[in-house]
Structure 1
Amino acid sequence: MANGADERLESESGLDMDQNDSLDIYPNAEVRIVREQYSILHVKRLCESRKELVIDPDFQRNAVWESRQKMELVESVLMGIPIPVMYLFEMRDGTKQVVDGRQRITALLDFLNNKFALKELNILRKLNGKFFKDLDLKLQGIFEDYQLFFYIIQPPTPERVKYDIFDRVNRGGTNLNSQEMRNALYRGMATDLIKEIAESKAFKRVTGHGISPKRMKDRYVALRAVAFYFYERQILIDPDTKQPLVYKSDIDDYLAKTMIFLNKYLDKEKKETLVRLFEKAYERIFDLLGEDAFRFESTGSKRRPINMPLMESLTLLFLLNEDLEKREFIKERIHAVKRELDESGFCKGSVDSSRSWEARLQILTKLL
């Protein structure tokens, strides 16, 4: 049993923003950003009745403002003082996700919905102790009609550009990694699926609890496995072209489009079927290879971390071949193939290139 989750997986790639901060992968990208302004009352409608603006509690980890910050914001609005512009991502279905400004929007709507009374105001002291409903009609109108300014990042802006924009507007705080961004941007059946897989006993057991749930690393690994499983089954559809999705070595774009597809394709029954399929695959792998299944053999005394490309490749092999463990000398053959993969170099370095992915699969097909 592992003593704890490995801090970093072997050949881990594509999770931290600083690993993929080059703009070279989208030199001709179309970036579409528009400026809009909405009244606070209209923002309330967008969030609560029309469901067109999603304020996601997981998008920014430091989500809870202190009381003082809320009071100062409301006071600024009532005084007509401009507040900083906010950022939204517009999805392909027209809904919008808050990128930057969640705390401000939440505080304003909470006050509008009479969830807290004003206190400790330094300038408008006569309003201390009052809820929104207690304000005179003129002040209520000033608050409801106050204009909030937004930059809206629209399709077809590529996913990697979205992540870079998010990173830039949030650079003053705690940076989110790519998976944390995906978890907020594409909430639905896709996020439910990878959460259930990553939190399953089978996943934790086969990895020896060696993949940390911190920063959603476990969900990132689960998503990669799901994404390449669907890719090999050739049923993924590109939401931009409406054609079969082709992997072009851009892991962020590929995983984002996979989640968009899953949110449209999956219902509760299909999701549960997939969770069980992955659980069974991990159970079979553990029964055959134990908790070192996804680790290459150590040359010294120190145990090597879980190798991410090896894990997703072996998982795919078992998912696509239900009787693999019943084949003659399969355990010995798997160990031989693992040694070949380790020596080949395709499980380290540029592991997310389409060439490396196809090469790993070719080596693994020797087991069939």
Structure 2
Amino acid sequence: MSLENEVSEKRKEIRTDGYAMSLSEWVSLYESKEIDIHPEFQRFFRWSDVQKTNLIESILLGIPIPPVFVSQRKDGIWDVVDGLQRLSTIYQFMGVLKDENSNNIRPLTLSGTKYLPSLEGKFWNNPEDPDNSFSQELRLIIKRSKINVSIILKESDETAKYDLFQRLNTGGSDLSPQEVRNCILVMLNKEFYTWLQSLASYSAFQECVALSDRPIQESYDLELALRFIIFSCIDASELDQLGDVGIFITERMRSIAIDPDFDQADWESLFKRTFDLLQNSLAEESFKRYSIEKQKFTGGFLLSQYEVIAYGIGYNIKAGNPVHDVKAKAESIWSDNRYTDWSGSGITATRRLPRILPFGREVFNGSN
């Protein structure tokens, strides 16, 4: 098929519309529950009050605001694909924003800016403090200001909104790759996202990965749980065709999340059996570097160690093979060049995984 034909075919899969809407209209949509901004996403987006104030300042000054992208569901409700933080800021400032439990969020109090220093301490409207409330004139400026909406219509290919969300929220974004995946999961299958969260919260797993606060805040523990599901039992023939591993993880996650035959109970059992075993054998030393010279585990979490040990044990438990002497085998991989040659810095996951995953499966197979 020629490039021209490919473009023609794919353009047919995405139907769009767009127009400008006043902020009053955006608020009306929210209050009538005709737009879903996914309050679950709030934990992943980290605008400061200064950034929020800058948006309100831009609206007051008439500075154009980037369009909001939405996807129209089959029931007609709009899913926000890009623009959550902009809309949330406006809703919070106007005092209508609610959290995921439908509780009102504290209205935003503005701070002074370079161009509008008198914004300091101002808020939308409080009859008990009229001096710091916006005047009727300023409130009308906000309400009548417009933000363009770009709509992916319900006739479009079902995966289009997830592709668009990923493209708009990666590269230059403050979100980690897993936080973007989390948002996609919430839109795609919230129940699966909640289940993945429960795996990542499992105490034995948390003790074994022993992550610091920053990676946990960026959902790296959820990524590790997801990686276990994807890679521990992956067919070896797929390992040579991974391509970009980050993209592979996202695409495989999407496939699993909508697969009606995916057995959550079976995978949860495998996950817990794997990390219960590791907790009893190595605990917080499970995925640290082993110093042959010092004869002890040192340092912080190593992804390559996780890939060999967690995936290797999970694969063998799933296959019904005995798994024993875990601590001794975890120490032994550091004297085996099948691991050390492919786990150092500069070795990409695309090159590393096809070599160390089969190695881990062999090492932890107690039948050998």
Q: What is the TM-score normalised by the length of structure 2?
A: 0.62
Q: How does 1:245-260 map to 2 (within 5 A)?
A: 248-260=242-254
Matched with 2:349 is 352
Matched with 2:80 is 96
Q: Does 1:60 align with 2:66?
A: no
CA contact (8 A) 1:118 1:130 kept: no
Q: How does 1:144-293 map to 2 (within 5 A)?
A: 146-150=145-149, 157=163, 161-164=167-170, 167=172, 175-187=174-186, 188-208=190-210, 212-229=215-232, 231-232=234-235, 248-265=242-259, 271=264, 274-293=267-286
- Using the TM superposition, give the Cα deviation of residue 266 of structure 1 relative to its aligned residue in structure 2, in angstroms: 7.2
- Using the TM superposition, give the Cα deviation of residue 207 of structure 1 relative to its aligned residue in structure 2, in angstroms: 3.0
Q: Distance in 2 between matches of 1:160 and 1:119?
A: 31
CA contact (8 A) 1:183 1:191 kept: yes
CA contact (8 A) 1:160 1:252 kept: no
By relative contact order (CA 8 Å, sep 6+), the higher-ranking structure is 1
- Using the TM superposition, give the Cα deviation of residue 149 of structure 1 relative to its aligned residue in structure 2, in angstroms: 1.8
- Using the TM superposition, give the Cα deviation of residue 253 of structure 1 relative to its aligned residue in structure 2, in angstroms: 1.7
> Taking structure 1 as reference, are residues 34 and 233 closer, same or farther at Cα in structure 2, changes over 3 Å only?
farther
Q: How does 1:34-113 map to 2 (within 5 A)?
A: 36-44=19-27, 47=30, 49-54=33-38, 56-62=41-47, 76=60, 81=62, 83-88=64-69, 95-99=79-83, 100-107=85-92, 110=95
> Taking structure 1 as reference, are residues 300 and 327 closer, same or farther at Cα in structure 2, changes over 3 Å only?
closer
Q: Distance in 2 between matches of 1:205 and 1:112?
A: 37
Q: Distance in 2 between matches of 1:293 and 1:182?
A: 26
Matched with 1:306 is 301
| Runs of 5+ unmatched residues, structure 2 | 1-9, 99-103, 129-136, 153-159
- After superposition, give the CA deviation of every residue in 1:148-172 in whole Å (9 maximum; x if it has no partner): 124679658577743445x1xx6xx
CA contact (8 A) 2:18 2:149 kept: yes
| Runs of 5+ unmatched residues, structure 1 | 1-29, 132-137, 235-243
Q: Distance in 2 between matches of 1:247 and 1:91?
A: 35
Q: Distance in 2 between matches of 1:246 and 1:346?
A: 17
Q: What is the TM-score normalised by the length of structure 1?
A: 0.62
What is the letter of the counterpart of residue 84 of structure 1? I
CA contact (8 A) 2:342 2:356 kept: no
- Using the TM superposition, give the Cα deviation of residue 205 of structure 1 relative to its aligned residue in structure 2, in angstroms: 2.1
- Using the TM superposition, give the Cα deviation of residue 308 of structure 1 relative to its aligned residue in structure 2, in angstroms: 0.5
> Taking structure 1 as reference, are residues 66 and 342 closer, same or farther at Cα in structure 2, changes over 3 Å only?
closer
CA contact (8 A) 1:159 1:256 kept: no
> Taking structure 1 as reference, are residues 249 and 46 closer, same or farther at Cα in structure 2, changes over 3 Å only?
farther
> Taking structure 1 as reference, are residues 293 and 328 closer, same or farther at Cα in structure 2, changes over 3 Å only?
closer
Q: Distance in 1 between matches of 2:326 and 2:239?
A: 33
> Taking structure 1 as reference, are residues 86 and 313 closer, same or farther at Cα in structure 2, changes over 3 Å only?
farther
Q: Distance in 2 between matches of 1:50 and 1:303?
A: 53
The secondary structure found in structure 1 opposite 2:65 is coil
CA contact (8 A) 1:65 1:103 kept: no
The secondary structure found in structure 2 opposite 1:88 is strand
- Give % identity: 15
**Aligned length in residues:** 312
Matched with 1:343 is 340
The secondary structure found in structure 1 opposite 2:20 is strand
Q: Distance in 2 between matches of 1:60 and 1:112?
A: 15
Match of 2:314 among 319, 325, 330: 319
Q: Distance in 2 between matches of 1:366 and 1:89?
A: 48
CA contact (8 A) 2:82 2:168 kept: no
Q: Distance in 2 between matches of 1:108 and 1:58?
A: 18
Q: Distance in 2 between matches of 1:335 and 1:91?
A: 53
- Using the TM superposition, give the Cα deviation of residue 283 of structure 1 relative to its aligned residue in structure 2, in angstroms: 0.8
Query: CA-atom RMSD, angstroms?
Result: 5.1
CA contact (8 A) 2:170 2:180 kept: no
CA contact (8 A) 2:22 2:144 kept: yes
Q: Distance in 2 between matches of 1:281 and 1:177?
A: 26
- Using the TM superposition, give the Cα deviation of residue 101 of structure 1 relative to its aligned residue in structure 2, in angstroms: 1.5
